[in-house]
Structure 1
Amino acid sequence: MQLSSDLADGERRGAEDEDLEPTEQSLERISYLAAAKPPPDQTTTTTSFEFVRKLGYGSFGTVDEVLHPGTKTHFARKSIRASLHQSPPALAQARREVIALCSLRHVHIVGVVAYYTLEDQFSIIMSPVAQGNLSEYMLNDCSAPLIKSSNLSKWIGCLTSAVSYMHEKSWQHLDIKPSNVLVTGDHVMLSDFGGALLVDGSQPKISMESSCAVTPMYCAPELV
């Protein structure tokens, strides 16, 4: 029942937000999406996101927790570390992630609130700010407050719901692994869509060469 409910909710959100898909031209300017809850004011500038703390590092950039003072809402900000002109693969992945997440609206997929270029750095503002990821969750001591073994079986349905919805929208994540599953309380969300591909019958077979974000240890056998 939970699986059907989650999938239906994801389909509803996707239908409501189809008009929010960005184009390549729109990615260079600041854009706020209606998906934010509550949304930042349309007149807000990028400087209104205040740095709170460093959350981590990715293959091409950093992830910070930021605060939007107008709404007192905390978000996660993923930024490309190097110059956009020096790291075209990183910029391509960031753009792909924005396009994917703007076309996917599901309770178990992270949401994009804003994206912008500032001082030669491309940033994506996302919600929510997670407590950790599934890899950390599984490695934690069982006495830690975050650990609830009963969640693990429930999360299988949640993540299956998200993947099913994503595939119905013709997107393939290609890098699903514990560290790309965010955990907040008893809620999980798929994240890190930098290697995601929009596929249809006219495209060639997906391979490791066609997706630079594939993690060999976790990828499907046919991609190896």
Structure 2
Amino acid sequence: MKVVYMFVAILAFTSSLVSAYDPSPLQDFCVAVKEPSGVFVNGKFCKDPKQVKAEDFFLHVEPGNTNNPMNAQVTPVFVDQLPGLNTLGISLARIDFAQKGLNPPHTHPRGTEILIVLEGTLYVGFVSSNQDGNRLFTKVLNKGDVFVFPIGLIHFQLNVGYTNAVAIAALSSQNPGTITIANALFKANPPISVEVLAKALQVDNKVIDDLQKSSWYDQN
């Protein structure tokens, strides 16, 4: 009887883990389409399998334009850019950095990220949760180095080399989402109350007012 209870407990535990991530597909593919069709899977309508073509699984990615306030550009390859990713539980992004380019602190609420440096030198890091003491984990990465950012944790990448840098990030969701911390706080629509942010950040109301009036660049 104890074995049965243990089996049930393990099954319940593994089921809860599975439900925390993108559900596994029950068909070969479900190419996403915008127009309504007969099947709606994981937030997207499925294209008629008989109409699916090789192009639905293909995308050419150009280098990103780093001529912006962050001197960096993220080019996502999520389900919205590559419909064939729908239900497959993976995606990626190309990140281009000019000198001193920054991919600012952000999170992916639905995906763990693993990053490999193709060119250049990056200073990368993430911050653990409140429960773990908000510890900062950082590393300087060179060409060929790999680093993992756990799901949902705030992380960043900064070009600290003397040349441009390029990295590829793979994520464990076809639609991992991105929340840029500064944009979420100071570019919310409608704006978050000045009183709320001033008290939370322990600064004067005028500081928050100035930040909310600033121009916040959206890399994604």
The reply to whether TM is greater than 0.5 is: no
Which structure carries more strand by proportion? Answer: 2
TM-score range, shorter chain: under 0.3
Tell me which structure has the larger Cα radius of gyration. 2
